A = this chain, B = another copy of it.
Amino acid sequence: MQKITIQEIVRISIDLFRKQGYNRTSMNDLALACGLQKGSFYHYFNSKEALMQGVLNTLHQYYKNKIFSLAYNDDISAKARMESFFLKQEPIFTQDLAGCLFGNITLETISVEVEFRSVIQAFFSDWIAAFKHIFIADGCTDEMASQLAKQSVMEIEGALMMMRVFEDVEILRQACVSVLKKFKN
Chain A interface residues toward B at CB < 8 A: 19-21, 23-24, 96-99, 103-104, 106-112, 117, 120-121, 124, 147, 150-151, 153-159, 161-162, 164-166, 171, 174-175, 178
Contact = CB atoms under 8 A, between A and B. Distances in A.
Given A96-B111, A111-B20, A158 B162 contact: no
Contacts of A21: 21, 23, 107-109, 112
Say what secondary structure dominates the interface of chain A: helix
A14 to B, nearest CB: 14
B155 A154 contact: yes
A120 B165 contact: yes
A108 B104 contact: yes
20 contacts: A19-B111, A21-B23, A21-B107, A104-B107, A107-B108, A107-B161, A108-B108, A110-B164, A117-B165, A121-B165, A124-B166, A150-B171, A151-B155, A151-B178, A154-B154, A154-B161, A154-B175, A157-B158, A157-B161, A158-B159
Contact of A19 (B112, B155, B174, B178): B112
A99 B161 CA distance: 14
Contacts of A112: 19-21, 24
Among A98, A117, A161, A165, max chain B CB count under 10 A is at A161
A184 B49 CA distance: 49
Nearest to A19: B111
A10 to B, nearest CB: 20
A169 to B, nearest CB: 14
Contacts of A97: 111
A21 B108 CA distance: 6
Contact of A153 (B107, B111, B162): B162
B175 A162 contact: no
A165 B155 CA distance: 15
